[in-house]
Structure 1
């Protein structure tokens, strides 16, 4: 667990969806689940625990709010059977038309990916 990160629970995922957790913390939760670790001693990211395709594309963790390509990659990495977890498990119906801005839709992608991560790693807690 990275210091100061909230536990990866459905409450935390709702907080990402409801914009109650800042973008940096939401990013950190995904980074940690992907395997990125920050080495405070060297002030550098350690990507040795990151899947090779992610590590090659992003040797340092990407800002999923700012990077559309990184968010697209995140979306594509969600198994097909888990694509609708926000709706199926949380009852999330999406944002209203006026709220459909890239920042919020990318946060929803991050939330869905984290929910899928929880589904695939039930004993793992970020």
Structure 2
């Protein structure tokens, strides 16, 4: 997917507020994990993916549908970055009626993307 939205605060809020579809949200995380889709072979290239991820997921997982993949994503966020949703975005969480796996997994994906940004900004 070559038309990914920019990785910025507006995009992250759009993910949290469910304004960006699940496929695009997954593709954003896949991209920053290092997965690349090769149109010519119609296969995923995982050579840039961390070996621990590549071994567990040779093809990118659907983080919205897969609890184990989301748990792995959560565990890959360094301890000092676990509260970035709250600290950087001021996100206080979903309301009780909104606490469904799909939305909480999207929040986890945003927290991982925030961690990626923090650890990879120059």
Task: State the TM bucket, normalised to the shorter chain.
Answer: over 0.9
Query: Unaligned 5+ residue runs, structure 2?
Result: none
Please give the root-mean-square deviation of Cα atoms over the aligned residues, in Å: 0.7
TM-score, reference length from structure 1: 0.95
Aligned residues: 122
TM-score, reference length from structure 2: 0.98
Runs of 4+ in structure 1 displaced over 2 angstroms?
Answer: none
Structure 2 partner of 1:121: 120
d(CA) in 1 for partners of 2:2, 2:101:
28
TM superposition shift of 1:116: 0.5
- Bigger relative CO (Cα 8 Å, ≥ 6 apart): 1
* TM-superposition CA deviations, 1:54-101 (whole Å, max 9, x none): 000000000000000000000000000000001001100000000000
Structure 2 partner of 1:75: 74
DSSP-derived class of the 1:5 partner: coil
Query: Unaligned 5+ residue runs, structure 1?
Result: none
d(CA) in 2 for partners of 1:90, 1:35:
25
